[in-house]
Structure 1
Amino acid sequence: MPLPSDVDVAIIGAGAAGIGAARALEASGLRVILLEARDRLGGRAFTRQLENGIVFDVGCGWLHSADKNPFVAIATRLGFDIDRSRPHWSQQTFNIGFPQHEREAYLREMEAFYARAEKAAEEGPDRPASALLLPGNRWNAMLDCVSTYINGVELDRVSIYDIDAYEDTEVNWRVKRGYGALVAAYGATCPVAFDTQVGLIDHAGARIRIETSRGTLTATKVIVTVPTNLIADETLRFSPALPDKIAATRGLPLGLADKVMLALDDDGEALPRDGNLRGSTTKVGTGTYHLRPQGFPSIEGYFGGRFARELEDAGEGAMAATAIDEIVALLGSAYRKKLRPLSSSRWAHDRFATGSYSHALPGHADDRAILATPVDDRLFFAGEATSPNFFSTCHGALESGIRAGKEALATIPVRAA
């Protein structure tokens, strides 16, 4: 749509948080615009439809805490079917590379680790989660590896306060047509200016002036929903400067979690539907693999942390090649001819994200509340990094946007009829 010259509320970013804010304001009668740097809705929620009907959620893919997740009701209203089967990581479908007795031992240690982290967080002070690993423990590498999937970073960069604050009901479902597709459908009615990158928010005057790649507009209120890295590195700038916000985002950097989708050129009967396979249980730098997700003829690989960044930096084909090598090492050489790269994410190299989702560095868990606090009742902040308990999730982003939208609305005088 054309860029308006003046609005009541400008929302920066049309991901789940921005859409949540816009939907919270849609019945207000206010002039609202979403300013989105990309040419699509969803931000870090993005679905690609691949060959043979394969659905690939390049970003968020799971309805975490589905029994509390508002996107479940949204999916029902919009006619999106939900797969309520247990997630692949919660069950062991066969013993290749990870026998049942080893898995049980790992799960016991994982529960013990998180119990230690919870106790340490209650007793204080904050410290890196890696401090809770037991020296010489057989499962330390795997605990660190799983952290790269959960947090996007290894345990040495994760606050134990943040771990304790995160809420997980352990109910995890999938949107059959894709989580990203659901988010985009929910935002379809919102007024959006695409390909509009915001560089400066000047809040010195009576009207807030917003400089974008398509021109300048003014607003009464602004809701900022961009990823933390873009504020931290001042890709998005404020005038007057907001040093507290910059400091908070630097304490809440984006970790990295990447995916690769491989076609499985086989009838697939030898592999279980929604099966699970781990590249290694003794290395931090390894992948985990979702076999035949939703029954599709494919394998979805997942990498996190420093290893994911190394694979991104190595070039487009490195992630798929590594995934195929690890799968072949476990399933046999016949699979080298059965697997083909289809698609992958490279979130660290995405200039509008530069990462996947936030984690609080040790000593910085309070930065989530600092980032979420409005400035002068004119600037409001949302995004998964501002969620107190559902950070790193799409529904956490949505709820934060709704919260920011309501905050902005509460500061606008009621207009006379």
Structure 2
Amino acid sequence: MNTTFDVAIVGAGAAGIAAAGRLAGSGLNTILLEASSRIGGRAWTVELDGMALDLGCGWLHSADRNPWTRIAEQTGFEIDRRNPPWGRSVPRPGFSIDEQAAAGEAYDRWHDRMLTRPLPRDIAADHLVPGDRWNPYLQALSGFINGTALEHLSIQDYANYEAVATEENWRPLRGYGTLIASHLPPETVCMLVTPLERLILSPKGGVMLATPRGELHARTVILTVSSNVLAGGTMQLPDELEPWREAAGRLPLGYDEKLFLRIVDEATFPKELHAIGNPYDEATVAYHIRPLGRPMIECFLGGVSAKLLADGGPVAAYEHIMKELTGLFGAKARCGLRFLTTSQWRHDARVGGAYSHALPRYSSARRTLAAPFENRIFFAGEATHESAFSTAHGAYASGIRAAEEAIAAIAVASR
């Protein structure tokens, strides 16, 4: 097997797959290394009971300008373009229309204060009204959206995302993970179960990559691993990359998980609906009941509730969910459901969490993390995007950007 390459891509998630797609046909000898036994990274669709379940990203956010939308259309992936259920003002169990309106107004006021009256500490929680009854609701929303409490969220980072996001959110019917995995060019050499153990800078230029399968040499490397992996100790990086590791540490992955339940009692649950377990509890879970008309409930845990799953395991999370669902739909809800599966992103050492958020005062760390090192190491992944972080389309754009940087660097060195 060849052990010398022009470009080595580390990580076969959305960013790595996008980089491989850009490099295909470039004439450069490319290899893709993936630590796990599958491709897709935090985009992962599993088939259970005849249903495509996205354990990771599931929505084409900003779908009207999301490149994965175009890719889906070009490759025959059907897209559900209906508005997501969370934006509809409809009667919800345990959350009346009046309560929804009051909660929405509280969110709008907080959102307006945050974006129009910046405070020096850059902490989103500073804009909460002390003692307001909707503060737990706002914290729960932050858990769903950011994976963390508002005390740990940079206002500037949040504003950067809001400035470019659109309200279009669509779903690929066969799963986002399936869509992303299908985009890997067939000619790309991809080595699964091949984690990067050590990165060594060659004094003559280029990089050596140590893996359990032996050493590889590359003129350039594109690192697409998550910020938690980059900041952690699962791979040895040269001291020269300490600024990048430090930047990654300021962009930690939050707590977000999913748990799926099969509906076995059709009469217990209504048609497609979005519900909140308890809007007055920051540990509440969001429920998408019968998504796409399918007989299941997609439970979305964020922040405190996702940490419950990470710390207490699936059993603790399941009991928390059952308490909320029986409170909403009655005792029959427990026997009307069957556990299907759950994500475990926090415990996956190859990922380490959900998606990144910038700590207060460190939104600029994204720019630092995206900068190349000596035109031989390039960085990609959702955490490197300054406005579309936490999304698969942000990861895609970063992979394209890093691939083009590598192509340009090699062209200059070859002159």
TM-score, length-scaled by structure 1: 0.95
Q: Which residue of 1 aligns with 2:322?
A: 324
Instruction: Give 1:249's aligned amino acid.
Output: A
Is the Cα–Cα contact under 8 Å of residues 312 and 318 in structure 1 kept in the other structure? Answer: no
Q: Which residue of 2 aligns with 1:301?
A: 299
1:88-110 Cα distance to aligned partner (Å, 9 max, x none): 21114423111011111111121
User: What secondary structure sits across from 2:304 in the alignment?
Assistant: helix
Give the 5 Å matches for 1:8-47: 8-47=6-45
Report the Cα distance in structure 2 between the residues aligned to 1:270 and 1:228, rounded to whole angstroms: 39
Q: Which residue of 1 aligns with 2:192?
A: 194
Report the Cα distance in structure 2 between the residues aligned to 1:49 and 1:66, rounded to whole angstroms: 24
Instruction: Give 1:141's aligned amino acid.
Output: P
Instruction: Give 1:213's aligned amino acid.
Output: P
Distance 1:359 1:415, change over 3 A: closer
The partner residue of 2:368 within 365, 370, 388 is 370
Instruction: Give 1:178's aligned amino acid.
Output: G
Q: Does 1:158 align with 2:158?
A: no
Q: Which residue of 1 aligns with 2:253?
A: 254
Q: Which residue of 1 aligns with 2:138?
A: 143
User: What secondary structure sits across from 1:299 in the alignment?
Assistant: strand
Q: Cα distance, 1:272 vs. partner?
A: 1.8
Is the Cα–Cα contact under 8 Å of residues 230 and 353 in structure 1 kept in the other structure? Answer: yes
The partner residue of 1:288 within 276, 286, 289 is 286
1:149-194 Cα distance to aligned partner (Å, 9 max, x none): 1001010110001111003201100010100000011115232111
Report the Cα distance in structure 2 between the residues aligned to 1:115 and 1:56, rounded to whole angstroms: 35
User: What secondary structure sits across from 1:11 in the alignment?
Assistant: strand
User: What secondary structure sits across from 2:69 in the alignment?
Assistant: helix
Note the aligned Cα RMSD (angstroms): 1.7
The partner residue of 2:334 within 326, 333, 336 is 336
| Unpaired stretches in structure 2, ≥5 consecutive residues | none
Report the Cα distance in structure 1 between the residues aligned to 2:166 and 2:374, rounded to whole angstroms: 36
Report the Cα distance in structure 1 between the residues aligned to 2:35 and 2:79, rounded to whole angstroms: 30
Q: Which residue of 1 aligns with 2:243?
A: 244
Report the Cα distance in structure 1 between the residues aligned to 2:259 and 2:357, rounded to whole angstroms: 22
Report the Cα distance in structure 2 between the residues aligned to 1:327 and 1:111, rounded to whole angstroms: 28
Distance 1:238 1:270, change over 3 A: closer
Q: Cα distance, 1:384 vs. partner?
A: 0.1
Report the Cα distance in structure 2 between the residues aligned to 1:125 and 1:173, rounded to whole angstroms: 36
Q: Cα distance, 1:411 vs. partner?
A: 1.0
Is the Cα–Cα contact under 8 Å of residues 10 and 33 in structure 1 kept in the other structure? Answer: yes
Q: Which residue of 2 aligns with 1:403?
A: 401
Is the Cα–Cα contact under 8 Å of residues 204 and 240 in structure 1 kept in the other structure? Answer: no
Q: Which residue of 2 aligns with 1:223?
A: 222
Distance 1:331 1:269, change over 3 A: closer
User: What secondary structure sits across from 1:341 in the alignment?
Assistant: strand
User: What secondary structure sits across from 2:270 in the alignment?
Assistant: coil
Instruction: Give 1:113's aligned amino acid.
Output: W
Report the Cα distance in structure 2 between the residues aligned to 1:280 and 1:272, rounded to whole angstroms: 20
Q: Cα distance, 1:233 vs. partner?
A: 1.4
Report the Cα distance in structure 1 between the residues aligned to 2:81 and 2:268, rounded to whole angstroms: 22
Q: Cα distance, 1:24 vs. partner?
A: 0.9
Q: Cα distance, 1:241 vs. partner?
A: 3.5
Is the Cα–Cα contact under 8 Å of residues 46 and 60 in structure 1 kept in the other structure? Answer: yes
1:297-323 Cα distance to aligned partner (Å, 9 max, x none): 001101112331222221232222322
Q: Which residue of 2 aligns with 1:133?
A: 128
The partner residue of 1:181 within 171, 178, 182 is 178
Is the Cα–Cα contact under 8 Å of residues 268 and 333 in structure 2 kept in the other structure? Answer: no
Report the Cα distance in structure 1 between the residues aligned to 2:85 and 2:52, rounded to whole angstroms: 16
Number of aligned positions between the proteins: 411
User: What secondary structure sits across from 1:66 in the alignment?
Assistant: coil
Q: Cα distance, 1:125 vs. partner?
A: 2.9
Report the Cα distance in structure 1 between the residues aligned to 2:382 and 2:108, rounded to whole angstroms: 26
Q: Does 1:61 align with 2:58?
A: yes
Sequence identity, in percent? 41
